[in-house]
Structure 1
Amino acid sequence: MPRSLLQGGYGMTTFPVQGFVAPGFERVRDVFARNFTDDIEVGASFSAVVRGETVVDLWGGYVDRACTRPWQTDTLVNVYSTTKGLAAIAFACLVDDGLLTYETPVATLWPELRAARDGLTVGQLLSHQAGLCGLRRSLAVEDLYDWRGMIGHLETEEPHWTPGAGAGYHAVLWGFLPGELVLRLTGQTLGTLLAKRIARPLGADVHLGLPDVEHGRVADLVGPNHARRQPDLAALAGLRLPPLYACALQNPSIRPWQDACSPTWRRAEIAAANAQANARGIARIYGAVADGGLLEGMRVLSPEAIRALTVQEVGDQDDLVLGRPMRRARGVMLNTLHQYGPNPDSFGHAGAGGSVGFADPARGLGVGYAMNQMQPGIETDTRGGRLIAAVYASLAAG
């Protein structure tokens, strides 16, 4: 079993690395191991599926900050906004079933929603154009567990911009919007839809609303302030963020250890931020959608539904919350800055701290990365980026 030895802030710590890589993908394993010794990794998993074949399945490190409990093959971790892409894939099942289209006016399904009254479409809702990036009232994390209460707040909230006329990242509140549509159309939750239609058929260990019996295999998140290397504080101090940033990302303020590791959080369905997953499960889901909706003989979506899911709704315009250009489809992010490899048609979603999942349809490639040490600062995570680059280098060499 390969092991990586780290000296420094964690003392003389040996990081076990387990799993396998297919011939030709050995460089991915090397990069994965170096993320522990040369970067800030504590515990992680990484997986890649190419045209239905798993070519990388790695895990290593520890599930706790003290590095006393090794990461296992079935360890789960909170993947924050990587959840959004997985939830959007599940939502696409409703399009496949003919229950709605992405052009359907939201008001015909949810007339109580104030933001939907002037023609907001389902596609615009999913692509962060509703103007409901944050509430003006102060929220506690506990408020997110009250579905009906949150829906009531969203229904009466005055949009921050004219719905459909701009886009701003709905960091925390996004999941309530498709979730309420799923509930109204099917009588089931978005988490149940994800489990029944996507995760279970594909054998993907991905959960939105984790049963208590599974909590024992979830890794503890390690907050960015505990990382072995910290960002340039002077550079952060000089950063200018749009006024809506705090409203969208800090109301409520979700603390990695105290909040996002609690049993109540793991049990809840917050489709913007709290899927419990591992890289293998994420890669299997994206591997299926990268290959026309099919994995190992199991079809979960039609090619037509996937094409509809990935139609661009938002182009290279500055996000009103994040302040930088973001290309968006119907709940998934399009490959704006090559964060999903070289193919501009790749799509997926990343999560706070570094997790990511994406599909590259040209190569039939699905990738998943999940870790517990959150990246400090707001820069692009280097660990996942190096692993993705290693996968593409392996494909090119093969």
Structure 2
Amino acid sequence: GLPDSEHHRVARMVPWQPDRKAPLAAFTAALQRGLKAGEPSLQYLALMNTGGHRSDLPEAWRAEFGGGGGMANARALAGMYAPLAQGGTHRGVRLLRPETIERMSAVSVATEIDATLLMPTRFGLGFMRSMDNRHRPAGFMESMVLGRDAFGHAGAGGSVGFADPEAGIAFGYAMNRMGAGILLNERGQGVVDAAYRAMGYQTSAPGAWIRRT
């Protein structure tokens, strides 16, 4: 957890405010229906069944739990992924074997429609892979378009951290004003796209950023 001495550094999250004219991701629409109907839908249970936990309180900052308890900025996110982008080493110290990283990044589950997220998904062992759902009505809020070998995870509101071993980079994006969608949105994806273009990657049309030779 975050020590009390560091609480003054925390940037408060600004909740997403829905735009009635904008399309909703299927997950968000199902969540809203569950909230209005008072029914414990799968989407409601996945996001709201927290036992009264609120992530914006100091009590939550002090807690230490997996799957949502991290407190970091973009630099720290990138630093966490850096060894995974560099073959398993960090500052000359080997932390993971290359074959371990290969297993972590390999696609282990791919769905046509994920039962919880209600969109096509691709996952490795605990990590998300590039997911291009831009063909869907609200696809710009249901996508996370990365490099072919990149793996990481999106966070609430559109944050993201990932490693791309092919490109040799680790990436972090964090914001305190939450955006729409269930993966990235135009802000986060725009920063990811700019990074790949700066490295000479020329297209994301195949569903992932690639270098043209």
Give the TM-score range, shorter chain: 0.7 to 0.9
Count of residue pairs the alignment pairs up: 181
Q: Does 2:99 match 1:311?
A: no
- Counterpart of 2:42 (choices 244, 247, 259) is 244
Structure 2 equivalent of residue 339 of structure 1: 144
Deviation at 1:291, TM superposition (A): 1.3
Structure 1 equivalent of residue 64 of structure 2: 269
User: Does the C-alpha gap of structure 1 residues 254 and 370 become closer, same or farther in structure 2, counting only changes over 3 Å?
Assistant: farther
Q: Which shows bigger deviation, 236-245 or 213-222? A: 236-245
- Counterpart of 1:302 (choices 90, 93, 97) is 97
Structure 2 equivalent of residue 354 of structure 1: 158
Query: Residue type matched to 1:302 in 2?
Result: R
User: Which string of whole-angstrom CA distances, capped at 9 and with x for unpartnered residues, describes residues 110-163 of structure 1?
Assistant: xxxxxxxxxxxxxxxxxxxxxxxxxxxxxxxxxxxxxxxxxxxxxxxxxxxxxx
User: Which string of whole-angstrom CA distances, capped at 9 and with x for unpartnered residues, describes residues 247-304 of structure 1?
Assistant: 211213878xxx2221110011221112000111111222220111123323222212
Deviation at 1:324, TM superposition (A): 0.9
Deviation at 1:240, TM superposition (A): 5.3
Q: Does 2:12 match 1:217?
A: no
Between the aligned partners of 2:191 and 2:24, the Cα distance in structure 1 is: 26
Query: Residue type matched to 1:392 in 2?
Result: Y
User: Does the C-alpha gap of structure 1 residues 269 and 392 become closer, same or farther in structure 2, counting only changes over 3 Å?
Assistant: same
Q: How does 1:10-49 map to 2 (within 5 A)?
A: none
Between the aligned partners of 2:197 and 2:97, the Cα distance in structure 1 is: 30
Give the root-mean-square deviation of aligned CA atoms.
2.6
Deviation at 1:316, TM superposition (A): 3.0
Q: Does 1 or 2 have the higher relative contact order (CA < 8 Å, sep 6+)?
A: 1
State the SS of the aligned residue for 2:109.
coil
State the SS of the aligned residue for 2:174.
strand
Deviation at 1:371, TM superposition (A): 1.1
Q: Does 2:88 match 1:293?
A: yes
Whether the 8 Å contact between 1:348 and 1:358 is mirrored in structure 2 is: yes
State the SS of the aligned residue for 1:348.
strand
User: Does the C-alpha gap of structure 1 residues 379 and 266 become closer, same or farther in structure 2, counting only changes over 3 Å?
Assistant: closer
State the SS of the aligned residue for 1:345.
coil
- Counterpart of 1:381 (choices 185, 191, 194) is 185
Whether the 8 Å contact between 2:154 and 2:183 is mirrored in structure 1 is: no
TM norm structure 1:
0.42
User: Does the C-alpha gap of structure 1 residues 378 and 289 become closer, same or farther in structure 2, counting only changes over 3 Å?
Assistant: closer
User: Does the C-alpha gap of structure 1 residues 376 and 316 become closer, same or farther in structure 2, counting only changes over 3 Å?
Assistant: closer
User: Does the C-alpha gap of structure 1 residues 316 and 301 become closer, same or farther in structure 2, counting only changes over 3 Å?
Assistant: same
User: Does the C-alpha gap of structure 1 residues 352 and 237 become closer, same or farther in structure 2, counting only changes over 3 Å?
Assistant: closer
Structure 2 equivalent of residue 75 of structure 1: none
Between the aligned partners of 2:16 and 2:191, the Cα distance in structure 1 is: 20
Whether the 8 Å contact between 1:310 and 1:329 is mirrored in structure 2 is: yes
State the SS of the aligned residue for 2:156.
coil
Whether the 8 Å contact between 1:254 and 1:260 is mirrored in structure 2 is: no
Between the aligned partners of 2:97 and 2:165, the Cα distance in structure 1 is: 14
Deviation at 1:319, TM superposition (A): 1.2
Structure 2 equivalent of residue 366 of structure 1: 170
User: Does the C-alpha gap of structure 1 residues 254 and 223 become closer, same or farther in structure 2, counting only changes over 3 Å?
Assistant: farther
Q: How does 1:105-254 map to 2 (within 5 A)?
A: 209-225=1-17, 230-233=18-21, 235-236=23-24, 241=30, 243-252=41-50
Gaps of 5+ in 2: 32-40, 133-142, 202-213
State the SS of the aligned residue for 1:270.
coil
Between the aligned partners of 1:286 and 1:237, the Cα distance in structure 2 is: 28
Whether the 8 Å contact between 2:82 and 2:163 is mirrored in structure 1 is: yes
Whether the 8 Å contact between 1:278 and 1:370 is mirrored in structure 2 is: yes
User: Does the C-alpha gap of structure 1 residues 219 and 237 become closer, same or farther in structure 2, counting only changes over 3 Å?
Assistant: closer
User: Could you tell me the percent identity over the aligned residues?
Assistant: 40
